[in-house]
Amino acid sequence: MYDPIFAKSFSKYERRRFGFCAFFISLIVALSICSTFKPRLHPLSIIGDAMNLQLSIVATQNMLEFKNKSEISQPTVDNAANFQLSIVNPVPNKLIVNDTRGSSRPTAIETTKMEPLCSILEPMADYCEIKGDVRIQANSSTVFFVTNGINRSAGNSSWRIQPYARKANLGAMNYVKNWTVKLAENKDDIPMCTRNHSFPAILFSVGGYSGNHFHDFSDLVIPLYSTSLKFKRDVHFLTTDTKPWWVSKFRGLLNKLSGHKIIDIDREKEVHCYTKVVVGLKSHKELIIDPSKSRNNGLSMHNFRQFLRQTYSLERTNAIKLKKGDTKRPRLMIISRKRTRLLTNDAEITRLAQKMGFEVIVDEADHSTNLSRFAQIVNSCDVLMGVHGAGLTNMVFLPDNAVLIQIVPLGAIDGFAKTDFGEPSDGMKIKYLEYKIKVKESSLSKQYPLDHPVFKDPRSFHIKGWHVLRKTYLDQQNVTINLRRFKGTLAKAMKILHH
């Protein structure tokens, strides 16, 4: 009952304060009742029982955002290849909350931004970027990450990663070791550190298709460059599936990217600990660095080619510029092949090109070739030509505005040709020409009748799988160029150099 005498004993201002306090206490009681009974559709019910906190609106919004990102079905470790994990990384943003499990005093904790830890949805590669307490145990092929309980609502606790910048169901991927990225709530549950490092690390595989010149650059060198350059050489390279000859071949490049000793992590008995580790290498397309992708840090193939010129002391930045009446002879390199897709009449092509004003050299790079020496030879050329294959990867050493001529064999492999060398040429500031051979220019014309499906229906070989396609059109096909037809392609190359 309202008591007017009691009310008059307080000022109008004091009575208003009592009213606000009564309303506030009622609101707290109502919220407490809701929290106790946990209605099915209450916003806080989606957060779970990880922490029983009375949260501010801002904190609730942050956690709801986390829920939206984690609504993807949570797979097991075995089907983790179709799952992208988002976890909380320590990015400072302080929030005051009341922890009802202990002291009633408000506690300052750090909320965090959501950043991807492991991305295994990428078409080209598995990739993890981990910040915090990271421990690498070689004998179990495991990368442990101590979460201190922060990530309990994220679902999975471990993910299987192949730290190689290509996904394929082919035999070579059987030689890429599976690593496990495992989340641990408490550091007491995982191996103790025996070696601590103050700089970050990149763990990557030298297995897969390494040894093929194209894959060496597309799957390893270029992704490693774009992943590691931001660390300014203060980064540890941890190699798994290590091939000593590969490390030796690319030693000059590796030393330019890291100032620390390369560790063959598979042989290590120590537990190496870091505050930041990248597992795998990011890759999007063949021989391409897309500057628009966030993890490429604005880098492009132009930057990469400048890096190659510095590493291998390549003197030429631009190809020759011919003027009318100029007696200079642009240099043409013919990439020779000795096992498959042989260019059977390279001597005749050489004589034709010389008559048209080119200086011609014929060469091929293999495992034993000194990469620095070969890079300098390619850089001295204005035109590079060859049948579709790994040798054309040496285009990375050409000067700007040089010309690449790709000879495309039979077999409806035009798509591969464009993807592997046609599309990358634009980002390298290289002019691209394509010469598609006719049936009579292929050695297959001597092995099969002209009405055979190998000519009439190449797609029927494609659907039988890569091994059939490769055996038929790549391993068993040689090329004999029609000089009259090819003369027009050489003339186009010369015209480009004049412009």
Residue 60 has pLDDT above 70, yes or no: no
Q: How far apart are the C-alpha atoms of 427 and 302, rounded to whole Å?
A: 7
- As to burial, measured by CB atoms within 10 angstroms (0-12 exposed, 13-18 middle, 19+ buried), residue 299 is buried
Measured in degrees and rounded to the nearest 5, phi and psi for residue 153 equal: -85, 5
CB atoms within 10 A of CB 335: 24
Report the Cα 132 to chain-centroid distance in Å.
22
Residue 241 has pLDDT above 60, yes or no: yes
pLDDT, mean of residues 21-40: 58
Residue 65 has pLDDT above 90, yes or no: no
126-149 pLDDT tens trace: 889 999 999 999 999 999 999 876
179-229 pLDDT tens trace: 999 999 888 889 999 999 999 999 999 999 999 999 999 999 999 999 999
Percent of the chain with pLDDT over 70: 73
What pLDDT is stored for residue 384 in this prediction?
98
What is the band of 32 on the pLDDT scale with cuts at 50, 70, 90? low
3-state secondary structure (DSSP) of residue 273: strand
Residue 352 has pLDDT above 80, yes or no: yes
Please tell me the pTM assigned to this model: 0.76
Q: Which residue has the higher pLDDT, 434 or 60?
A: 434
What pLDDT is stored for residue 15 in this prediction?
55
Pair of tokens at residue 68: 């939206």
Q: How far apart are the C-alpha atoms of 334 and 403, rounded to whole Å?
A: 12
- Amino acid symbol at 207: G
Radius of gyration of the chain, Cα coordinates, nearest whole angstrom = 31
Give the bridge partners for 408, in sequence order.
436
Across 287-296, 368-377, 419-428, 456-465, least confident range: 287-296
- Alpha carbon dihedral 190, 191, 196, 200, in 10-degree steps, equals -50
Q: How far apart are the C-alpha atoms of 7 and 334, rounded to whole Å?
A: 103
Angle of the 483-498 helix axis to the 346-355 helix axis, nearest 10? 40
Half-sphere exposure of residue 126, counting CA atoms within 13 Å on the CB side? 25
What pLDDT is stored for residue 4 in this prediction?
45
Residue 52 has pLDDT above 50, yes or no: no
Q: Which residue has the higher pLDDT, 102 or 157?
A: 157
What pLDDT is stored for residue 96 in this prediction?
37
Q: Which residue has the higher pLDDT, 323 or 404?
A: 404
User: CB within 8 A of 292, min separation 6: which ones?
Assistant: none
429-465 pLDDT tens trace: 999 999 999 999 999 999 999 999 999 999 999 999 9
Report strand pairing: 179-184 vs 142-146: parallel
Residue 115 has pLDDT above 70, yes or no: no
What pLDDT is stored for residue 156 in this prediction?
64
Q: Which residue has the higher pLDDT, 461 or 295?
A: 461
What pLDDT is stored for residue 287 in this prediction?
96
Mean pLDDT, the chain, whole residue set: 81
400-412 pLDDT tens trace: 999 999 999 999 9
What pLDDT is stored for residue 392 in this prediction?
97
